[in-house]
Copies of this chain bind each other. A is one copy, B any other.
Amino acid sequence: MSAGRFIEQEHIGALIADYSGMTRDHIPATRVEAAGASGGLALRQGYMAVASGLHDIVVVGGAEKMTDVADAMSVDIQSSAADQQWECSFGATFASLHAMIARRHMHDYGTTREQIAQVAVKNHKHGSLNPKAQFQKEINLETVLRSSPVAEPLGMFDCAPTSDGAAAVVLCAMEKARKYTDTPVKILASAQASDSLALHHRSDICSFEATAVAGASAFKQAKIKAKAVDVAEVHDNYTISEILAIEDLGFFKKGEGGKAGQDGQTAIGGKIPVNTSGGLKARGDPIGATGVAQIVEIVTQLRGAAGKRQVKGAEIGLAQNVGGTGATSVVHILGVA
């Protein structure tokens, strides 16, 4: 994400093909970009490349080495995912926009600060079970509530970290996949939706309509209802984002997401385990890689290979990846083949 500003290299698709040896055969490489949703969007483009019949095998990947870049988390770069001209140039930051969403959710639905904080506690618990998570330490509610304020009510432990990371998946038609693996996973649905870039153009900031629309479209494609999903990875770049996501996707009614988390319904063993990888909060948020890493986690769960964090009998998984403050949302549903 933002390779132009991070490493002054806009032609990153060709660069990755080059460095991975694929230019020997002149394999085409395409960069797609939608801020935090870049990875999910890449999967969707790869899916279309195979489904269109133009390509047999497609590798979809994302990578970010944010600790190499001095200003990776600067207000400046983060702002380029929101409305730079009409939000950020007037002082809004990515964190403060999410803080407004949190405040409004608390006001409209009685969501408590503790319920919001519980998202981080749960995701760190899940991260402690994931040997590939950036943070594998459990934290308690106190730690989140007492962490340094970033944009109130959100504190440091409500925000996904600066991360290095990469993820990739290989796509091909199912009949071909069976030649290479005994445990192929099928893409049951691929959906995407847009919304206004700025929050102030929306009638309701307690919901990301792009997620609701992409989710509904994905469920229709997969011919299932939300309750059929066994495990989900959602875009918890801030704790409040997870609450919005599980409501917008229909796992819980609007306004009940905070309480559902507090009651343990989104933890492993609960009604719908969410972010078993640890999520953006604990697995990490290497921005361009995040959407692909979500898919890797769902595939791992559907293969029954998630070890201590395995959701028993998981057959259908969902991944939701967000760009900006909900201006792009991508939802994929995967199933055991």
Q: Interface on A for B, CB 8 Å cutoff?
A: 1-2, 4-5, 7-15, 17-18, 22-23, 26-35, 41, 44-45, 47-49, 51-54, 76, 79-85, 190, 192-198, 201, 209-210, 213-214, 323-324, 327-328
Contact = CB atoms under 8 A, between A and B. Distances in A.
A294 B200 CA distance: 38
Given A2-B10, A45-B45, A194 B80 contact: no
Contact of A328 (B29, B79, B195): B29
A23 B81 contact: no
11 contacts: A4-B80, A5-B10, A8-B80, A11-B324, A14-B194, A18-B194, A18-B198, A23-B194, A26-B209, A30-B34, A30-B44
Contacts of A44: 30
B48 A11 contact: no
A194 B29 contact: yes
Contacts of A213: 26
A11 B51 contact: no
Given A26-B194, A26-B209, 4 more contacts: A4-B5, A7-B85, A11-B323, A23-B194
Given A5-B5, A32-B31, A33-B33, A18 B84 contact: no
A10 B81 contact: yes
Nearest to A36: B11
A54 B11 contact: no
Contacts of A26: 193-195, 209-210, 213-214
B195 A9 contact: no
A82 B327 CA distance: 31
B51 A53 contact: yes
A192 to B, nearest CB: 4
A328 B13 contact: yes
Given A14-B327, A30-B41, A194 B22 contact: yes
A23 B196 contact: yes
B33 A31 contact: yes
A186 B192 CA distance: 27
A95 to B, nearest CB: 17
Contacts of A11: 34-35, 80-82, 197, 323-324, 327-328
Nearest to A210: B26
Contacts of A83: 15
